[in-house]
Amino acid sequence: MADSPARQRDRSATEASIVEAGEHILLRDGFPGLNVQTLAAQAGCDRKLVYRYFDGVDGVVERIAARACAELVRSLDSVPRVEHEGLRGFARESLTAWVAALRASPLTLRLMAWALVESSPLLNRIESDRSAVLQAWMRERRPRLKTAPGGDAVALNAVLLAAVQHLALSASARPGLGGVALDDDGWARIEAALDRLLVAFPD
């Protein structure tokens, strides 16, 4: 027997409350504070509903991660399209667009920080899904660019990508890193430094 429309609405509202509670706890307390008891208390519902609707905390985290990925997609899609003639300009656009998307998504940064200190099939899947968001955007934006025959542009891009992701993570936890303040002026310095580093890419 199917649920009545009223019951479906109640379930949808409770699910939304639990997911919002999870986001609030994750942003306020970090992942150590996220458990069935705190979710239920924050959402104002019975703990049984967390299991019934999400099969426990992992189901809530999956829903949070999906919403965080959607934030990244919206941020990346808002970047104006530019036709680049070489990899250098495209690499700069990709790196700056990605770090801007990360900085605009505190939930993503919390999930990334969690994955740095704990490994699980769920967190590995979330990391893979996040990476797929950037890879899909990059493939769509550079359909006609080819990797130069000399050097390893892919590995260099991976190193720079790891660097900007670490900077974005650091900015969510401390005011500076390596002598550079992670404020607006500091990010302008970081972008200028990226320009210097990207000379290794063909123009």
Span 49-82, pLDDT tens digits: 999 999 999 999 999 999 999 999 999 999 998 8
What backbone torsions phi and psi does residue 177 show, to the nearest 5 degrees?
Answer: -150, 130
Q: Annotate 80-99 with DSSP letters as a single string.
A: PP---SSHHHHHHHHHHHHH
The DSSP symbol for 35 reads S
**Is the domain of 20 the same as that of 102?**
no
- What per-residue confidence (pLDDT) applies to 104? 94
Q: Tokens standing for 56?
A: 């426990």
- What per-residue confidence (pLDDT) applies to 149? 59
Number of folded domains that form the chain: 2
Q: What is the pTM of this model?
A: 0.86
**Is the domain of 43 the same as that of 76?**
no
H-helix or E-strand spanning residue 177: strand 176-177
**Is the domain of 50 the same as that of 144?**
no
Is residue 168 over pLDDT 80?
yes
Asked, for residue 139, whether it belongs to a domain, the answer is: yes
**Domain assignment of residue 42, given as a range:** 5-55
- What per-residue confidence (pLDDT) applies to 142? 80
Mean pLDDT over the full length of the chain: 89
Instruction: Specify whether the backbone of 106 is left (phi greater than 0), alpha (psi in -120 to 50) or beta.
Output: alpha
Mean pLDDT confidence for 154-179: 89
What is the CATH classification number for the domain harbouring 46?
1.10.10.60
